[in-house]
Structure 1
């Protein structure tokens, strides 16, 4: 199998440069790929600020992502439980796709364009059905910033109604931070997605004899959490409403998150794909660790507020009983305690 690639650089003289996948030109032979390129030349003007080093060429298919089929036609890529760095190249969240009879839906796409490209190759290795939708479960960069690749491939990008504004407000900071963490060369070509369809309550997407139910939630993990329920298999993509092993990250409202979680626990779900951790969790058993953590976070925070404890001291004490049960605890729990304290202090 061959695909179209083009080398794009921030500066032709000094770089950095990276080979970028141009989706939609895949072919069994190099000659067929070249014919497709000549008949429909790519528009590289979409890569604003980058310069092409030569023209697009057809090369053997590059790096793809490993996935697990957690249910019939439902595939999940498990990201590392790590902070983004040059070694993991930002591959730190769970992503997936669902194959219907006529099309495919992607759920989250990683923190950089290269991850979206690798996920595209994984899909193409399993089906030639078009990717009709790419769903973004929330604004955080490790879930959202690989999505533009799928838009180029013709997919409609779908997200919570509040996501476009929230992402617009933060995208510059996200890209600056990721450049520092994983490197400008790895991040090259990454840009915030432009959402085509927003969900205010519930939206159903038909992939052909496979209907997905998308639901927008009140402020919880973030202010723009969106879930995807494949009722055909009972598989529920929770985004970061559910964490497994990775310390939860609070960027919304603690009390709102706990309320949403209680509602999720009442759904008739077979398995849940968490935003971080294992590929799929049994339900509702898989909700118990995060439900316990959020409960402890709230109880300890309320106790600190009622005792008049200063924020700086409270942050070092809140939820410490959970420390041995989660990875990346020291990176995320102080932030969670700060957000929770601020929320409950003014309740």
Structure 2
């Protein structure tokens, strides 16, 4: 009953993070201590800020599912030390061994911690595109992490997933159905979600953002992301959503800060193009409805420029 009340409170009044808080868990290299979102599903919420030395690069969510026959981790983490710290937290919760790690995509904060999990002999699974992305750019991600967090990246190496999949990777563990799914193009190559149908919970990865502005990369096709959302993510009708960034919440919240933001920005840029606006002015289209989000200052103008470059040729 206690967990049900907490879950309902979570949905009704989502907690808000702040990028002004450098570290919420000084006793650990993790930015925050994992908490139980719903029974058996935990998440250590990363900073809603760019990766820094102070947050040790933990600016995404590191989640795990505890079953009676083992633990499944979602995200390798941004370093060997972050993965090791998460494992210590898992051991404080359960005696069950970690049997499987999913990488939500090929970015450094999802895969650099694979080096720790590989040392533990744990199976590591990712989408084929994410694995290729990390194989091609993992060295660059590692060097950036070493420059940023210095000794906190010690022991971190590039370790590739041990298994890959194209559409879905489904496992039943301790009576819990766990479905890693590739729903289609979204934020970055090989983004996946982890869906728990019996619990109506989705670990959304970078399909969904909350409390911070999403970044649009050169390879982020915003029209495709909206299509994937509408055709495959929204129909999950999840009750609980653990986004890639920001506190766990519900579908309404992540829709507002992800899909609806993409639709809004594309409409602003579309109007700018219709008025023969150029790239220099596109950076400054009105994004004030989203100015309350963390990382707005760092990302808003970049996002506008990249959407302009995409839509100019659509």
- TM-score normalised by the shorter chain: which range applies? 0.7 to 0.9
Alignment of 1:74-93 (within 5 A): 74-93=41-60
Structure 2 partner of 1:343: 310
Number of aligned pairs? 284
Task: Say whether 1:267 aligns with 2:221.
Answer: no
Structure 1 gap ranges (5+): 1-60
Q: For 2:60 and 2:255, locate their aligned partners in 1 and report how far apart those are by CA, in whole Å.
A: 18
Which residue of the other structure, out of 110, 121, 137, is the alignment partner of 2:77? 110
The aligned counterpart of 2:289 is 322
Which ranges of structure 2 fall in alignment gaps of 5 or more residues? 1-26
SS at structure 1 position matched to 2:132: helix
Q: 1:312 aligns with which of 280, 286, 291?
A: 280
Q: Which has the higher contact order (CA 8 A, sep 6+)?
A: 2
Offset at 1:108? 0.9
The TM-score with structure 1 as length reference comes to 0.77
Q: Indicate whether 1:294 and 2:262 are aligned.
A: yes
Distance 1:282 1:62 in 2: 28
Question: Which residue does the alignment assign to 1:209?
Answer: 175
Secondary structure of 1:206's counterpart equals strand
Q: 1:95 to 1:62 in 2, by over 3 A?
A: closer
1:46-195 aligned within 5 A: 66-183=33-150, 185-195=151-161
Name the counterpart of 1:34: none
Instruction: Tell me if structure 1 keeps the 8 A contact 2:35–2:43.
Output: yes
CA contact (8 A) 1:80 1:91 kept: yes
**How far apart are 1:91 and its partner, in Å?**
1.5
Matched, 1:253 2:221: yes
Bigger strand share: 1
Moved over 3 A (4+): 61-65
Worse-matched range after superposition: 111-120 or 333-342: 333-342
In the aligned structure 1, how far is the partner of 2:29 from the partner of 2:191? 30
Aligned pair 1:283/2:255, yes or no?
no
Q: Give the Å deviation of 1:148.
A: 2.2
Compute the displacement of 1:231 (Å).
1.9
Q: Distance in 1 between matches of 2:42 and 2:215?
A: 24
- In structure 2, the residue corresponding to 1:325 is in which secondary structure? coil
Q: How far, CA to CA, are the matches of 1:260 and 1:179 in structure 2?
A: 34
* Structure whose CA Rg is larger: 1
Deviation of the 1:310 alpha carbon? 2.1
Deviation at 1:284, TM superposition (A): 3.8
Aligned in 2, Cα 1:339/1:275: closer, same or farther, shift over 3 Å?
same
CA shift for structure 1 position 137:
0.5
Write the distance in 2 (CA, Å) between the matches of 1:323 and 1:286: 13
**Cα distance in structure 1, aligned partners of 2:70 and 2:169:** 17
Aligned-partner Cα distance in 2 for 1:214–1:333: 31
Alignment RMSD, CA only? 1.9
Deviations 1:283-328 (A, max 9, x none): 34442232221111111122223333222221222x5223423111
